[in-house]
Structure 1
Amino acid sequence: MSFDNAYEALTEQQDARWAFGTGFGDPLDGVDTAVPPGVDGPVLSAYCLALADDALIASQRLAEWVTRAPELEDEVALANIALDLLGQARLLLSRAGQVEDPVRGEDELAYFRDASEFRDVLLVEPPHGDFAETVTRLLVLSSWRLALFTGLTGGADPVLSAIAAKGAKELAYHRDYAAQWVVRLGDGTAESHRRLRAGMAEVWPRVPELFAAAATDRAAVAAGIGVDPAGTLPEVAAVLDQVCAAATVERPAIDPAGPVRGRAGEHTEHLGPLLARLQGVARAHPEASW
């Protein structure tokens, strides 16, 4: 299919993934939103909040590539991936707030929590540097998150399962996009190969945390609503091995016993300034309707 310009491609493209994810249908249509019997509301809320924070911060960071991406096609792709993650964050924040007592809305959770109250993994926090670092980070994040969401589709909470089912479709595209770029850079020129290796060196120290079970994860697994992150390592490692082999780079080792920091509320110096930009308008006008 050909288009006269990029804006026509955005409005006329029939592939739903280019229209802000997998379409505009409500993923919770017909889903019972009551907390299932035997499921602990605070445990469910804390788990959804952690997954939401990962997506919210990652989305904000990817949005920083708008007007800075190497090509217009990649600017559109990264913006759409950011919007997918924002959509996941909104659904998860809504579920987290819905089962709290008292109930809190997604805006309150996104805009009126301080950095110490966020539970995102550290991988998503630093500003993006070189494009090779960005696609490496996206490959790892999307591979890990896809493995989690695939497992969550069979969980005890039907709302979280529905959110995961929708998100898994989006994450499969995110992983594919990042993998193609990693291979292109690694198996390209000497300079692109160097940049990819530098990007991997920048990203990898924050990878082990993804597979370390925090208290939130353990409680969610015990409640039948969560996935043990350590159990996702074989699948993620297999994907990364395949991509790295095609990219002619060696995959660094992953220690699944990495320290839990972000999930425990310990963050990098980058999160505070990011939240100041993200939350500034809402905090300046706390009574406004968004």
Structure 2
Amino acid sequence: MRPIRLVPVLLMSLPALCLSRPGTAQEALKGGPSPAPAGASVYFVDVKDGAVIPPNTTIHFGLRGMGIAPAGIQRDNAGHHHLLVDTELPNLSEPIPNDFNHLHFGAGQTEAELNLPPGEHTLQLLLADHKHIPHTPPILSERIRIVVREGAPVPGVAARKPGTRHPSPKGAKVYIASPPNGAVVPRTVLVRFGLIGMGVAPAGVVKANTGHHHLLIDTPLPPPDRPIPNDFNHLHFGAGQTEARVTLTPGRHTLQLLLADEDHVPHDPPIYSKPIRVLVTVSGRPPRARVARPVRP
């Protein structure tokens, strides 16, 4: 997934900002009608309070205890990210404003490329439902202070020798949770991914024992020591998705999952599922058996 380039314009001066932290104060806040499950949290993956970053920086968002759903898609225990830049929390019972200080990620993105001017800034994440209204209780991160400085190192980037691969933990597995092998499915089918013994992290995020999913359609496994191709036979889910709606032509197809690291390179040893076979029909039902007509004498 290509990061979205965002160039926020600062509407408030830093001294006017009041920093807030999640916890008891968050629990007392009220949002909109969509409930949030207990223990859910949102956080910055690769920037911390007090971090010094370069002007052009890709930051990544983390979410625990809930799922990602794009704006307009109503789903229980799910939402999408909003990044607050140099501003206080908005009215939590109304849709979050959409401007240079309130950045929306309605497509379900879990990363953003920021272009901030040098100096001090504040960042805070706020999750919201399909109507951009925060949940109850609201799911918000700690508001952190960062310093933007020319020449600062990029956060979260670890040096790796060319040609090396991240090790995969013993017993890790990836599998297709649905549809089952041999299923008859419609042209647009929901494929759900399962992962055991590892965590999911978006593309670009360096974190041990994690990766993101790739769905291989009608193609063999690619070379394990190179980035997985990105085409109609190799679908990337770099935002950390664990399910996807895929449109297939009528006929028989094979589906297989392959996990890969922040650079789309499979782990060592590679983590891949058994391939499954599905039959795609226009109706999504098995084709009718043909009845032989009697031969007239």
Superposition TM-score, scaled by structure 2 size: 0.24
> Which structure's CA Rg is the greater one?
2
TM-score by length of 1: 0.25
Structure with bigger strand share is 2
More helix, by proportion? 1
